[in-house]
Structure 1
Amino acid sequence: MDGFVADDAYAIGLVTAEELPGVAEELAALLVDTVHAGASLGFLAPLDHGEALAWWRALGPDVADGRLLLWTVRAGADGRLAGTVQLRPAAPANGRHRGEVAKLMVHPADRGHRLAGRLLAALEERAHGLGLRLLVLDTETGSPAERMYAAAGWTRVGSVPDYATDPSGVLHPTTVFFKALGG
């Protein structure tokens, strides 16, 4: 994996297009577990593993073309997939200085190890290296993710009522954040 960063317990790496088919099954299992644990990621529960797998596999062309960057974090002891995050650089000519952060997930069994913050830090470093100066994202209002983004230095723009449903189908507002990158 390109961009590999390790510590004693977890390793973060950027997934290449060639590697994506080999990790798609694990990513699908992570998505299913995270949605079933209540995370609002654009899917409803119960999420079928086959549907999740097809969704990950469909990202291959975007990863290959650089329209999507995808990181994973793995538990060092057994190499088990513990989390992921995505960066989608903006395509329009007037927006090539920005990118959107999406699908930040940490497996419920691996929460409490600051993996979300580590994934964000790896993404922000790479985004800065690509010349991106502004990142945006949205997350369910009132969720633990909202508190994590604020603690990681992201600026809250506001919220949009009834933006999306949680996995059980209940409407929730979303909070929009941005982060300006140095340089």
Structure 2
Amino acid sequence: MSSKSNVRIEQLLTIEESIDELSELLIQVVEDGASIGFLPPLDPSAATLYWQNVLAPDVILFLAKMNDIIAGSVQLHLCTKPNGSHRAEIAKLMTHPNYRRNGIARSLMQQAEERAKQEERKLLVLDTREGDPSNLLYTSMGYIQAGRIPSFAISANGELHATIFYYRIIG
């Protein structure tokens, strides 16, 4: 669609103005088969409710925009436990199906990593369904597979899928 240079990453501090676009993003990626905790068909009210409850003091939300349209998002969850103040989790990396192959996911990951460093986090963790294209992205960015849990997530057709846990030391 567009070139990678048209991708703009920004932190979202409030949801209200973007909730319709975010809900549509979530619906589209779930419909396309993404394993991010929801099953298709995702009801618009459930998508809206999800986004209304995302932001918290320990959750940083980044959006990717192309031509002022939300094309993707990622969350950085800062661990608030005393023994985990050095780590954060990458969560819900999404790229709208119409905007894939534009470097959006990589740009979002890089922004999340930069913010984690600013927050003095030294360890990033994440998980993803085994076999998804995201596995290639994570390994290409230096994430190391820490383990695999079989039958972790169920798909719309009832099939059980393994999840892979990754980590990366960033500081």
TM-score tier by shorter-chain length is over 0.9
Identity of aligned residues (%): 35
Alpha-carbon distance in structure 2 between the residues aligned to 1:120 and 1:166:
25
**1:58 Cα offset (Å):** 1.4
In structure 2, do the counterparts of structure 1 residues 103 and 167 end up closer, same or farther at CA, with 3 Å as the change threshold? farther
2:38 corresponds to which residue?
A: 43
Structure 1 stretches of at least 4 aligned residues deviating more than 6 Å after TM superposition: none
What SS is found at the alignment partner of 2:34? coil
Alpha-carbon distance in structure 1 between the residues aligned to 2:150 and 2:39:
19
- How do residues 1-183 of structure 1 correspond to structure 2 at under 5 angstroms? 8-16=5-13, 19-60=14-55, 62=56, 66-75=57-66, 77=67, 79-182=68-171
What SS is found at the alignment partner of 1:51? helix
Number of residue pairs matched?
A: 168
Give per-residue Cα distances to partners, 1:68-98, cap 9 Å, x unaligned: 00000000x3x11100000111111010100
Give per-residue Cα distances to partners, 1:107-130, cap 9 Å, x unaligned: 011110111111000000010011
Amino acid at match of 1:11: R
**1:43 Cα offset (Å):** 0.4
Amino acid at match of 2:149: V
Alpha-carbon distance in structure 2 between the residues aligned to 1:10 and 1:169:
36
Amino acid at match of 2:108: L
**1:161 Cα offset (Å):** 0.3
Computed over aligned residues only, the root mean square deviation of the Cα atoms, in angstroms, reads 1.1
Gaps of 5+ in 1: 1-6
Amino acid at match of 1:84: S
**1:21 Cα offset (Å):** 1.3
1:4 corresponds to which residue?
A: none
Give per-residue Cα distances to partners, 1:5-42, cap 9 Å, x unaligned: xx7411100111xx311111111100000000000010
8 A contact 1:13–1:73 mirrored in 2: yes
What SS is found at the alignment partner of 1:132? coil
Amino acid at match of 1:49: P
Alpha-carbon distance in structure 2 between the residues aligned to 1:167 and 1:118:
29
What SS is found at the alignment partner of 2:166? strand
Alpha-carbon distance in structure 1 between the residues aligned to 2:41 and 2:35:
12
8 A contact 1:40–1:167 mirrored in 2: no
8 A contact 1:43–1:167 mirrored in 2: no
Tell which deviates more after alignment, 156-165 or 167-176.
167-176
**1:165 Cα offset (Å):** 1.4
What SS is found at the alignment partner of 2:22? helix
